[in-house]
Amino acid sequence: MIISTGTASGKSLAYLTPAIASCLEGGTVLYLTPTKALAADQLRGLRELRITPVRAACFDGDTPFEERTWIRQHANYVLTNPDMLHRSILPRHAQWSSFLRRLRMIVVDECHGYRGVFGSHVAQILRRLRRACARYNSRPTFLLASATASEPGAFARRLTGLEMDEVTVDASPKGSTTIALWEPPLTELRGERGAPVRRTATAEAADLLADLVLADVRTLAFVRSRRGAETVSLAARAKLADVAFSISPPFPPTPALPETLTPPAAPPRKTNTHEPKTQPHKTRPREAEAPETRPHKTRPHEPETPETRPHETRPHETGTSETEAPETEAPEAKTPESEPLESGPRETRPRETEPLETGAPETGPAKTAAPETEPAATKPTATEPAEIEPAATEPAEVGSEAAPPGGPASPHPLTWAIPDAQDPGLADLPNKIAAYRAGYLAEDRRLLEKALRAGTIMGLATTNALELGVDVSGLDAVLITGWPGTRASLWQQAGRAGRDGQDALAVLIARDDPLDTYLVHHPEALFGRPVEAIVLDPDNPYVLGPHLCAAAAEIPLTEDDLPTFGATTSKVLADLVAQGLLRRRPAGWFWTRRERATDLADIRGGGGSPIQVVESATGRLLGSVDEPSAHTTVHTGAIYLHQGETFLVELLDLEAGVALVSRANPDYTTFARDITEITILSTERSQPLGPGTLHFGEVEVTRQVVSYLMRRLQSGEMLGDEPLDLPPRTLRTRAVWWTLPASAVAPLAEAGIDLGGAAHAAEHAAIGLLPLFATCDRWDIGGVSTELHADTGLLTVFVYDGHEGGAGFAERGYARAADWLTATREAIMSCECERGCPSCIQSPKCGNGNEPLDKRGAIHLLNTLLPPQ
């Protein structure tokens, strides 16, 4: 059964009732969740019921080892996640035999989070779980729950391999929610090629968060990176400190939050940073109103502080607070796959680096890094594995740097928001805002959740760790800093407000990005549309193979098991036998190695041993980087960010798996350049598209980092191009591509259009818009465009999955090509810039300085490909 109804509609009650009944009847229940926060919240709710026979416990990376034996032997309601199921429970199923023998029910909560390659891995883990249960003669009922699943029955069948009934009628009472689409204003800054730059979404979020807290509106601000969450909290706290200082006389200090929860004080001006020369913009969008239940709806906006935008870093780095990816908090997961490149025509194109949720911010000319300080006692300990998330979304831009507490007074009064300006409690205003993210100690996260529910904290800047199901009742408003990647995530985050039935406010603050800009100008793309279909491919041989090895290591595979794992199982088994990983015997297939078979399936990563980042002077391990992205992140000479500190990479030793770094304070940042070639291996499907042809098939992408650029932080001035000698990397994946014959492009060339620049611009914009039609993030896909491709002999634009074997995103693009490319054309045409900007054709991932690009040519090219509007 899958229950797919709105947020706060009673799904938890729907599965808790039969689950607790199963425990009372002597059975056991297994509860699966993508995040530790949700598991802890569910455990709190279970214990509040005070039903003695229900012995509930969390089994995850935060669980002390001395408690794990008790859980295996005595717990009858176990809350865990797919990573622990994959790496601990299933390989040791004999130790769980008593629990599995009595297993009556498996709850898969917030199941829409299992999508893409991660979802494909989870699908195979659930099949291994079904097989282990059969070993102990149990046939548990699967109950899935999601607030935002499209075609829930079909998705649940693909995820579990079982027939599914679905419940989709939602009759629960709800208050109204006001949705505001907020586009930050343009600043006087200029980016690449003189393109206008908007004020950062995180700077807007910090201002709005402070304003709403002053108006006594309990608010959650979702930010797309860990560093971004810290920065929004820091800037909003500094603003509240300025408010308290400006409207009240000096007063004795008041008690603050516990030390472990107190975010760092605002950094002093011009410390380890280079601020772009900027002035406060002269106009601001109308501020979002607080819900009508509050007495103070609007207030004048304070003058802005200068904004800073940090230099770029590479994607997900396990164990660092820079790691930007959705907050799945998986206990024993590894780093996600490296991000694919968007490539243009004819030229050597540098690697386009778009950080995962590492807090690694966007960069470009005149963008600098605001220093960041970690909160006290919030770093993971050796016993708490780093929390990692499924691939999820692009980085948030780090916003304005606010004046330190006690700074200059605001020029306009704010006493309307505070009844008594002499109240010494004003000194505690900054402590009403905090940050929440993975990397904090478990007890600190639980205290923050409790403080938000109790109203001690009125504003919380968080990553998407609080997106899924955590009961934070009493919220009045939600700020969503940048498009969260899918409509499903948008409604999940907006649904955090108004959970007590009251009216609520949700504000989507657009980033300077093609998709964000398109959505705020085309609200019809958000409202009245179903959420995206959830894409996963359990039959991907690169996913299926490692799980067949893990299954054989758990219990030898037999012919009867093959239907459980899918139609391609026989072929994949033959390949595994040929590789020597499995051995065929009359009784079945057996694992042949001494190593742990589960290590073959990196359910959140791209494979390869991680590169350890070590400080050469002290030997301190700073973190790790997945091997594919090490070429662009920690190559020799790279500038590497870790927890707000800057390091220079002295040496990258791929054989030893180590990158040696030293502390540095350079006035430049680095960008890796690589050459990308794409070869068509096979074409699975083709169809006409205007005068051209649309294709879907298998491709091989070869990338080699050949050098890195050094660019001055303040001005964006190019300082040099240093060569590198790194081996090429090859990715076999699936792609969608379109071609135009010479007869169609000849008139464009005669009109003076740069065909390479036009194709490159169309590729960038198409990659930016594909997440609107497939449940992917921009770093899940890559692209290559060329005026004349060797395999087609025609002008060709490719968009490919950035995962070995493919993840289904390109296939979704093929199925929705007309809508997808039409939206791409509209996004380019509706942008108010003249030659192209980050809101239309410039890519934050383009390491080649977004050259060549031809905005006018891209419009003509897409007009040629598509029917007229």
Nearest by Cα to 82 from 98, 106, 101, 56? 106
Mean pLDDT: which of 7-21, 342-356, 513-527 is highest?
Answer: 7-21
Residue type, 88: S
Quick one: pLDDT band at residue 849, thresholds 50, 70, 90? low
Position with higher pLDDT, 5 vs 444: 5
> Radius of gyration over alpha carbons of the chain, in Å?
26
pLDDT (0 to 100) of residue 465: 67
CA 250 – CA 269 distance, rounded (Å): 23
* 48-92 confidence digits (pLDDT tens): 999 999 999 999 988 998 899 999 999 999 999 999 999 999 999
Give the lowest-confidence range in 267-271, 582-586, 591-595.
Answer: 267-271
Nearest by Cα to 507 from 222, 104, 273, 215? 222
What does the DSSP 8-state code read for residue 590? E
CB-CB contact of 453 with 426 (8 Å): no
Cis peptide before 538 (omega within 30 of 0): no
Nearest by Cα to 310 from 644, 653, 728, 765? 644
Residue 298 has pLDDT above 50, yes or no: no
What does the DSSP 8-state code read for residue 86? I
pLDDT (0 to 100) of residue 420: 39
pLDDT (0 to 100) of residue 195: 67
What does the DSSP 8-state code read for residue 20? H
pLDDT (0 to 100) of residue 571: 93
pLDDT (0 to 100) of residue 427: 67
Residue 202: in which H helix or E strand, if any? helix 201-214
* Separation of CA 234 from chain center: 22
Tokens 């009472």 belong to residue: 173
Tokens 């997961």 belong to residue: 333
What does the DSSP 8-state code read for residue 412? S
Residue 457, CB-side half-sphere exposure with 13 Å CA sphere: 31
Residue 52 phi, psi (nearest 5): -55, -45
Q: Is 482 exposed, middle or buried (0-12, 13-18, 19+ CB in 10 A)?
A: buried
In degrees, rounded to 5, the angle at the alpha carbon of residue 258 between the alpha carbons of residues 252 and 260 is 130
Residue 761 has pLDDT above 90, yes or no: yes
pLDDT (0 to 100) of residue 54: 96
| Average of per-residue pLDDT across 300-309 | 35
CA distances from 385 to 60, 83, 122, 239 (A): 10, 12, 20, 34
* 585-627 confidence digits (pLDDT tens): 999 999 999 899 998 888 876 555 678 889 999 988 887 777 7
Residue 838 phi, psi (nearest 5): -60, -15
In degrees, rounded to 5, the angle at the alpha carbon of residue 606 between the alpha carbons of residues 640 and 582 is 145
CA 559 – CA 554 distance, rounded (Å): 16
Residue 256 has pLDDT above 50, yes or no: no
All residues at 6 or more sequence positions from 804 whose CB lies less than 8 Å from its CB, including other chains: 337, 542, 606, 607, 731, 732, 733
All residues at 6 or more sequence positions from 403 whose CB lies less than 8 Å from its CB, including other chains: 238, 242, 266, 269, 305
| 3-state DSSP assignment of residue 316 | coil
| 3-state DSSP assignment of residue 79 | strand
CA distances from 265 to 37, 219, 826, 834 (A): 26, 21, 44, 41
Strand arrangement of the beta sheet that strand 477-481 belongs to:
177-182, 504-509, 477-481, 219-222, 459-462, 433-436
Quick one: pLDDT band at residue 846, thresholds 50, 70, 90? low
Residue type, 494: A
pLDDT (0 to 100) of residue 440: 65
Residue type, 609: S
Cβ neighbour number for residue 586 with a 10 Å cutoff: 4
pLDDT (0 to 100) of residue 426: 65
Do you know the residue count of the chain? 869
**Percentage of the chain lying above the pLDDT 90 cut:** 37
Determine what percent of the chain falls in helix, strand and coil, rounding each to the nearest 5.
30, 20, 45
CA distances from 358 to 479, 601, 605 (A): 20, 23, 14
Quick one: pLDDT band at residue 104, thresholds 50, 70, 90? very high
| Average of per-residue pLDDT across 342-363 | 36
CA 63 – CA 65 distance, rounded (Å): 6
Give the lowest-confidence range in 145-149, 159-163, 479-483.
Answer: 145-149
Cβ neighbour number for residue 74 with a 10 Å cutoff: 11
CA 112 – CA 117 distance, rounded (Å): 13
Q: What is the 3-state secondary structure (H, E, C) of 647-701?
A: EEEEEEECCCCEEEEEECCCCEEEEEEEEEEEEEEEEEEEEEECCEEEEEEEEEE
Quick one: pLDDT band at residue 277, thresholds 50, 70, 90? very low
Residue 359 has pLDDT above 80, yes or no: no
Cβ neighbour number for residue 135 with a 10 Å cutoff: 14
pLDDT (0 to 100) of residue 408: 34
Position with higher pLDDT, 269 vs 46: 46
Tokens 């569910």 belong to residue: 42
**Pairing state of beta strands 729-740 and 795-801?**
antiparallel
CB-CB contact of 178 with 145 (8 Å): no
Give the lowest-confidence range in 184-198, 316-330, 685-699, 818-832.
Answer: 316-330
Rounding to the nearest 10 degrees, give the CA dihedral for residues 418, 453, 358, 338. -140
Residue 385 has pLDDT above 70, yes or no: no
The reply to whether the predicted model has a pTM over 0.75 is: no
* Separation of CA 825 from chain center: 26
* 468-484 confidence digits (pLDDT tens): 655 566 678 999 998 88
pLDDT (0 to 100) of residue 98: 96
Please list, residue by residue across 265-300, b when 16 or more beta carbons sit within 10 angstroms of its beta carbon and e when fewer do: ebbeeeeebbbbebeebeebeebbbbbeebebeebe
Task: Determine the straight-line distance between the first and last CA of the chain, rounded to whole angstroms.
Answer: 43
* 633-650 confidence digits (pLDDT tens): 899 999 887 655 788 999
Quick one: pLDDT band at residue 441, thresholds 50, 70, 90? low
pLDDT (0 to 100) of residue 149: 72
pLDDT (0 to 100) of residue 627: 75
pLDDT (0 to 100) of residue 844: 60
Position with higher pLDDT, 250 vs 712: 712
Tokens 């050597």 belong to residue: 348
**Pairing state of beta strands 639-642 and 621-625?**
unpaired
Quick one: pLDDT band at residue 301, thresholds 50, 70, 90? very low
All residues at 6 or more sequence positions from 94 whose CB lies less than 8 Å from its CB, including other chains: none
Position with higher pLDDT, 453 vs 29: 29
CB-CB contact of 477 with 506 (8 Å): yes
Residue 827 has pLDDT above 70, yes or no: yes
Number of H helices, E strands in the chain: 21, 30
Residue 516 has pLDDT above 80, yes or no: yes
**Percentage of the chain lying above the pLDDT 70 cut:** 73
pLDDT (0 to 100) of residue 265: 44
CA distances from 556 to 40, 559, 731, 843 (A): 35, 10, 31, 49
Q: What is the 3-state secondary structure (H, E, C) of 837-855?
A: CCCCCCCCCCCCCCCCCCH
* 640-694 confidence digits (pLDDT tens): 876 557 889 999 998 888 999 999 888 887 888 777 889 999 999 999 999 999 9
Residue type, 830: S
Position with higher pLDDT, 549 vs 276: 549
| DSSP sequence for 44-69 | HHHHHT--TT--EEE-STTS-HHHHH
CB-CB contact of 501 with 172 (8 Å): no
